[in-house]
Chains A and B, each alone.
Chain A
Amino acid sequence: MNKYINLYLLEYSINSLLRQKYKNIFITTILTFLIFILSSMFFITSSIKNELQFSVESLPEITVQKLISGKHYDIEVDRVNEILSITGVNDATARVWGYYYFVNAGVNFTLVGIEQFEKQYKDSLQNLVDSSKGFDESNAYIGQGVKEIMRKNYFKEYFNFILPDGSLKKINIGGTFKSDTNLESNDVIVLSKENMRSIYGMSEEYATDIVVKVANPDEVATVAAKIKLLYPDTRVITKNDLKVSYQNIFDYKSGVFLALFIVSLFTFFIIVFDKASGLSSSERKEIGVLKAIGWSLDDVLKEKFYEGALISVFAYLLGVFLALGFVYGFGAPLLRDIFSGYSELKTAFELPFVLDVQTMVLVFFLSVPIYIASIIIPSWRVASMDADEVMR
């Protein structure tokens, strides 16, 4: 241990830092704060990405949407039969889903309609829901967030949807989705397709979109192309497209990167400028004296390195520690509003904890070496000069 870390040198560095206590505490605080913000943002984005990865495999291989003049339109249900006849297609289902604006609370719900008599749905639904009532015509299952909003607006056992013709449709609240699925289900209401159609005033011949199951992943692209040929007025989205879009959700073009980048740059420039604008005369004299005593340039730089490392590594560990607590312990109170925006219907932001080593390393390299360099460089300049001023 003695060979690698010179303990006396370390002691001297610590004392040297303590000699300028307040300045160093200030710098450490700024660094810690910077690292805290950076890490928090990275943790949030990385958790969100991870969350998306968990679910991507379960998504349908192909989704077919009808687009006219760039906007979504309801798609004809009999297209399903044509699609089923394409080789490689296992299954094709028409989906009815959309949004419902709840005026009283000013929130948007996502409504999804499913066929209540399909057995596969019944079983999986029971698994996902803390429920009281079985799934049938008159019931709906809702997400946690929906439940909260409804409760606040005095809808405890049932809910009234306003139909396009102005009349009310009463639907009972059959159960709530478990909090495990919160991030996906928070704003969702699941109803039978019949109910959906009446709420939207959609006829039996139309659906919102069509999902297609393809058994062989290699064939997906071909099937997608065929569907597109078959129906040129549609947009065909494959699971692969989804995966790709998840990759770039927070990429370098998004605001996250830009904001972080600017913040870091700005703070760094402040610190580095303060350091690199030359040492004070007392610091110069100190280096001069050390050199006169017999310290070589390397020794002086090593000491400065210890000083810089002590501050920046400490700030890094503290910053990351605080960020972990902030994001995963407290749900990142202020930062999450950046992601949720003006949502009235906020999720609990219980992000899954994932240790992303890459991110931690990135944050480390963005902060520690730069700070250490900002300490060493001016010292190097001074220490390389002749120290004869020290004699006068």
Chain B
Amino acid sequence: MALVLQYLYLDKTMAVSNNQIDAKKEFVALLGLPDLAISTEATFIRHRSLSSTFEIYKDDGILREYFPSSFIIMDSKIGNVNE
């Protein structure tokens, strides 16, 4: 029962409203950049879809794995897609 109530409550408050969806779409259309700003320190995570797997070399001379974000977020295959 509590679960149902909680679901209803969350639906009202936290769910994405249409206005919000429109705002998000507009913003993305404006910038044209994919990916969320959840992890900003490593560029190959921040703009994962536009970066290649070699980005990590470009970012830092000392090769440092940006853990745990890169552990969690699967590498985008776009970098290796040729066709």
Contacts and interface: CB of A to CB of B under 8 A. Distances in A.
A244 B77 contact: yes
A248 B7 CA distance: 27
Interface residues of B, number: 61
A185 B25 CA distance: 12
A187 B21 contact: no
B38 A347 contact: yes
Given A249-B74, A254-B73, A187 B37 contact: yes
A54 B26 CA distance: 11
A251 B74 contact: yes
Contacts of B2: 317, 321
Contacts of B51: 72
B78 A110 contact: no
Contact of B39 (A52, A246, A339): A339
Interface string B39-81: 1111101111111101101100000001111111110111101
Interface residues of A, number: 84
B15 to A, nearest CB: 5
A355 B7 contact: yes
B47 to A, nearest CB: 8
Contact of A128 (B23, B39, B83): B23
Contacts of B58: 71-72
Nearest to A322: B6
A245 B77 contact: yes
Given A145-B37, A187-B40, A343-B41, A325 B32 contact: no
Interface stretch (A58-66, A157-165, A370-378, A382-390): A58-66
Contacts of B30: 114, 121, 124-125, 128, 190
Given A60-B32, A241-B78, A254-B72, A345 B24 contact: no
Interface in A21-35: none
Contacts of A209: 50
A39 B79 CA distance: 31
A107 B39 CA distance: 11
Given A65-B50, A253-B74, A344-B41, A338 B68 contact: yes
Contacts of A351: 14
Given A255-B68, A255-B72, A352-B16, A341 B45 contact: yes
A97 B46 CA distance: 13
Query: 8 nearest interchain CB pairs?
Result: A341-B69, A255-B71, A254-B74, A353-B14, A58-B29, A352-B16, A55-B28, A186-B37
Interface of A: 48, 50-52, 54-60, 63, 65, 67, 70-72, 95, 97, 99, 107-108, 110, 112, 114, 121, 124-125, 127-128, 143, 145, 177-178, 180-181, 183-188, 190, 209, 211, 225, 235, 237, 241-242, 244-246, 248-251, 253-256, 317, 320-321, 324-325, 328-329, 338-345, 347, 349-355
